[in-house]
Structure 1
Amino acid sequence: MNILLIGSGGREHALAFALKASPLCTRLIAAPGNPGIAEAATCVALDPADQDAVVALCRAEAIDFVVIGPEAPLVAGLADRLEAEGIATFGPSAAAARLEGSKGFTKDLCARYGIPTAAYGRFSDRAAAEAYVRSHGAPIVIKADGLAAGKGVTVAMTLDEALAAVAECFAGTFGAAGAEVVVEEFLVGEEASFFALADGAFALPLASAQDHKRAFDGDRGPNTGGMGAYSPAPVMTEAMTERVMAEIIRPTVAAMAAMGAPFRGVLFAGLMITESGPKLIEYNVRFGDPETQVLMLRLDADLVALLKAARDGTLASATCRWRDEAAMTVVMAARGYPGAYAKGSAIGGVAAASALPGVKVFHAGTALKDGRLVAAGGRGLNVSARGATVAEARARAYAAVAAIDWPDGFCRTDIGHAALAREAAAAR
């Protein structure tokens, strides 16, 4: 079949890598894509927010199936538009995408249906939000309600930091996303990312990963869109996975169906594994970035068949296999990210890095300028590798990082530190 992939980041490069490997894929087109995606797909310059242009491209290229990568087009209703045009699409409706588009919506759903999550308050008034923060004290978590491109969340360890985060939201730093603020209880435990496919009624568990949100080593610095990840997450044992499915994922799928907005797509649950069990931090309604990069390296199944089953309502008869290996991705970002950074710096050595054993370099924010690869976004490359253990995957990934020549780039040097400590303890 002819497949159209919407998006241009590292997540989409990883999806293109897996989609192209499917025997069901006759032709892969990406819009707008990036230089890495161009290795697997025909890239077409197009703004995913221009729904008319997306429909026209589907008609012109006889597209059989569309896979939407980023969250913004989903929240804006691109899947609804394409399905209304008779074009089969993987991705939730705008009504179902509220699970990511509004953190307050998701918190209210959890409260209504008994899904474990942090205690919270929703506010559209700054003074009321500040009063709530003062009454609960720090540490506490401040979140812009809407989409904020992986930002808009402050884990405030002091009262002053929390009040400053509230002020930042209401000052318009995150645009319309910060017009309402969610203030949450600070949860203690170990974070994990968990993924499941849903077809509106049935949910199929996929795999787990652990992301590293802070910009610098030792989990210091500002939150980012993610500086690296590894899979599987050791905390997500078989027993914990079943608890997450039973207490969080399946109740959410049932709740969305009961609300008249059945969820068809991928549910990415950000979790905190606490002493009392798993709690939902937030939902994303698309594959994670950079978690997708490690998931696709471990996937041992036909991605197109799985995504089609989610769209067609046949997931109950589907199965998903995973390689019995670990995978790690290290994000190389432009200096200054997640703050101000310069675009256009030259990047070399990607081919040499990609040629190393077990390595795959996914492009995120890159572009070609006069035939040379340059940085075009905050997160430029996702240097990824598989290995028999997390330690082996890590050694391969960082060997590949060393082969890349990007003087204006940086990365964390401690991705996977928690898993490495577990492996070392188990070996003793």
Structure 2
Amino acid sequence: MFALVDCNNFYASCERVFNPNLQGKPIAILSNNDGCVIARSDEAKALGLPMGAPIFQWEAFCKNHDIQVHSSNYPLYGDMSSRVMEILKQFTPDVEVYSIDESFLAFKGFENYDLHSYGIQIRKRVLKWTGIPTSVGIAPTKALSKVANKIARKYPAETNGAYVIDTEEKRIKALKWTKIKDIWGIGRALSKRLEAKGCKTAYDFTQLSDAWVKKNFSVTEARLKRDLEGVPTLKLEEQVTKKVIATTRSFEHTFSDIENIKERISTFAAICAEKLRKQGSSCHVVIVQLSSDRHKSDLEQHRSSIMVSLSCPSNSSLIISKAAVQAVSSIFKKGIKYKKAGVIVSGLVPTDNYQLHLFEQENPKHRYLMEAIDAVNMKYGDYKIKLGSQDLKRTWKMKQERLSPRYTTNIKDIIHVK
């Protein structure tokens, strides 16, 4: 059996944990630079606030309906997510972290367990230890556990927030209840094609012949169909090393001078290098992207990217940053107001096992220097040690005018009990 544990309105719930005054109130969370709505509480959804709404266009609507608008607080959300996932590992060793607010659990050897009670126990522990409400769906396959989770989320009073599909009757009833567009892995375009075929529900999808699905779609949809039929086909995925690492950000303002852009690129490159070191990788290639504000059609537009190959694989912030800064200087165009930039590192290889160059190699001192920098930053936080080409005050500059405190990741923001 598989379980899908999903945190309800995760971003809004994180805000409510440390600010109980938000309980029961509509909440909206904004994207980077306070741009668009990326998360909503159930109360905000009921009021009609759409996902992706540009906040400058919906500012009056939010004020009129008393919607609490917050900047995205990713350090807080990431830390709360880690706490939830660690709790889930207490219930089974087989856990796949699917997203920041979702995890699949595999229950092997749980044949004599009352899984509905076990699901409720999971919910209670996560809620008690973190304050985050969850829904739990349990079924013989991953795809069916997604369906079960939707039922638990939709009918919390009837299910106590946990629902188990453990009979053929329940499976068929659940699939007939699930609309084709709500099936996990069925996108908008694919759902339209299936609806044209007469598939209105997940049950209709399972009634299609295997041959027809394989002919008209891909092996992914064929596997999904078998999973919905109750045949375990989709397994838990093991955490794999990333093949590409990227850091891209929109600037808080448009920049038309090369110095500010160099600083941003240097910071993004240093972040990529740190991520490389965390997963024990080095990169062969550095890609730099630079683009103007496409929303301002009255301004001259420019968008470009460039790829730089390193002479030998590296995860040194010094080398990657230097390569990235030189690269962005070559694609920068005077007179353009740039709004977004990014650094991507690819061609990743294990740091302790890659082909050496016959005539060139990285300065061996870089390795020890990076280890020392990472250790200091890990201990004291907030990137205490940076490159000279970086902004010494901030990691990256974003517009966050409605940011809540980082209650669990910054000692200065810890709640004081009076």
Q: Normalized against structure 1, the TM-score is what? A: 0.27
Greater fraction of residues in strand: 1
Greater fraction of residues in helix: 2
Q: Normalized against structure 2, the TM-score is what? A: 0.28
